[in-house]
Chains A and B, each alone.
Chain A
Amino acid sequence: MHKKAQQEMVGFVLIVIVVVIALLVFMIFKMSQPAKVYKSVSADNIIQSIMETTSECQTSFTSKKDSIGDLFEKCYDNKRCSNTNRMACEVLNETLTVILEQILETDNRISAYELNAYYYYRDEQQTQLMLINGSCLGSIYGSDPYIISLGRDEGLSIDLKLCMTD
């Protein structure tokens, strides 16, 4: 009789252990998954507007200053601004940082941002630019990739992720 009670206890403990292990495996699996990025029209709107904004860089010898979108292309071609003699990549990095910081400051829905610009070289993804700042307290919303065509089947892809509170 005493032995039977012991057997039941062992059985119960085994069930508890199995359930705890299953829960742990589930939790580890959930935690290791990257945070879900929701598609957002707000992020699309921001990236489109940023790309059309005029920068301080003038790469051609006309009076026309380049837009941020043009500057990505000039940075890829490793060009220099003729008006300031600075590298296009340097100006691009600086301008985007100022813009995104300003957005972070003025828009209280946004608590963090991540901007990635990349291209493919010999089928390998190469990062052109990556800007991250802020701490994420809400859900992550991402834009559709903004594509800048460079001809010869090449292109730059830019995407923006924003951490927004609902």
Chain B
Amino acid sequence: MGLKAQFKIMQMIFMVLGIFLFFILVGIFLINSQMDGLKQSSEDLKRSQTLASIETIVNSPEFSCGGTTTWCVDKDKMSIMLGDLGKKYYDFWQISSIEVQLIYPNDEPEIIECPSENCNYYNIYEINQTNKKTYSSYITLCEQQGRSSTNCQLAKFIVGVKNA
């Protein structure tokens, strides 16, 4: 009789353990799905902060097309910034590099640095830094053609920042 009671107690313990484990697993699953949403929100927040920083540079008078258009870079202003003048802005923006890569129209499969024929890549400036991380956003690279016509190309604006 004593053995039977012990057996019953053991059976109950196993049952309670089983139920406990089951609820623990359900809990882990629920927490995991909640954390996934949280992770996505933090990723998006990080992306929007990066984009906001890039937007500040794109919309600065040194690059902006003017008017109300955002994410628009004036091709002529950008050409002036190419090379030594751009480097002078390092102290101001604290950015290691600024590059612009043409997306459309672009028939060249390889990167051809500007200024040259059929070029698709502008290295506005680059400070030699070893530990650098790049962030990018999409812009329209616009050029005034004649009095009322503007030609806009799709490009990627890439900034490099020193990795902390």
Contacts and interface: CB of A to CB of B under 8 A. Distances in A.
A40 B103 contact: no
B50 to A, nearest CB: 9
Interface in A21-71: 38-42, 45-46, 48-50, 52-54, 62-65, 67
Interface residues of B, number: 32
A106 interface: yes
A102 interface: yes
Interface string A98-138: 11001100110000000000000000000000000000000
Contacts of B89: none
What is the interface of chain B mostly: helix, strand, loop, or mixed?
A: strand
B154 A49 contact: yes
B43 A50 contact: no
A153 interface: no
A97 B39 CA distance: 32
Contacts of B104: 53, 95, 98-99, 102
Contacts of A41: 44, 47-48, 51
Given A54-B151, A95-B104, A106-B103, 20 more contacts: A41-B44, A41-B51, A42-B51, A42-B137, A45-B51, A45-B137, A52-B71, A52-B72, A52-B152, A53-B104, A53-B153, A62-B148, A63-B146, A64-B149, A98-B104, A102-B103, A103-B103, A139-B40, A166-B39, A166-B43
Interface of B: 22, 39-40, 43-44, 47-48, 51, 69-72, 101, 103-104, 106, 136-140, 142, 145-146, 148-154, 156
